[in-house]
Amino acid sequence: MSVPAPATDATTQDLEHLRLLSIFHYIVAAMTGLFSLFPVIHLVVGIAMITGHIDTPDPEARFAGWFFVAFASVFIACGMTLAGFIAYAGRCLQRRRRHMLCLVVAALACMIMPFGTVLGVFTLVTLTKPQVKALFADAPGR
């Protein structure tokens, strides 16, 4: 029976960084989800144009309505999916699992200016350290 090595100060600091990064992932995921719901206004206007609740003399208004609905739906779906992935990456960071997924999501989070960029860069810097990668390999329940 082997006795686990005591945690060093560097390991404790890396665990604290992962804990903070997971919390910030949840915060950025919530903000991303909120901002991705802004096009709901366009979705409602587009549906009103399609159903005829907005009277316009132009017969091509239905086409514009479909345009509003399509783009708003795609934007909302992509934003909510990205928010879900960021929240899931926060959970994986907390449990020290799925290192590659956390790296990919951190790179994708860099697209969300300015908070996602800061979070993504700090996450990439932290996750590329060899001792942090070793923490993911030694995670309990793996």
Average pLDDT rounded to a whole number, residues 41-60: 86
Radius of gyration of the chain (CA): 22
DSSP per residue over 26-64, as a string? HHHHHHHHHHTTTTHHHHHHHHHHHHT-S--S-TTHHHH
pTM for the full predicted model:
0.85
Average pLDDT rounded to a whole number, residues 59-65: 82
pLDDT digits (tens, 9 = 90+) for 116-132: 999 999 999 999 999 99
From the centroid of its chain, how far is CA 27?
Answer: 9
Give the per-residue pLDDT at 44. Answer: 96
User: For residues 52 and 117, what is the distance between their CA atoms, to the nearest angstrom?
Assistant: 42
Cα within 13 Å of Cα(94), Cβ side: 11
Spans of all domains in the chain: 14-133
Give the per-residue pLDDT at 55. Answer: 76
For residue 100, is pLDDT > 70?
yes
Least confident range of 6-15, 35-44, 118-127: 6-15
Amino acid at 72: A
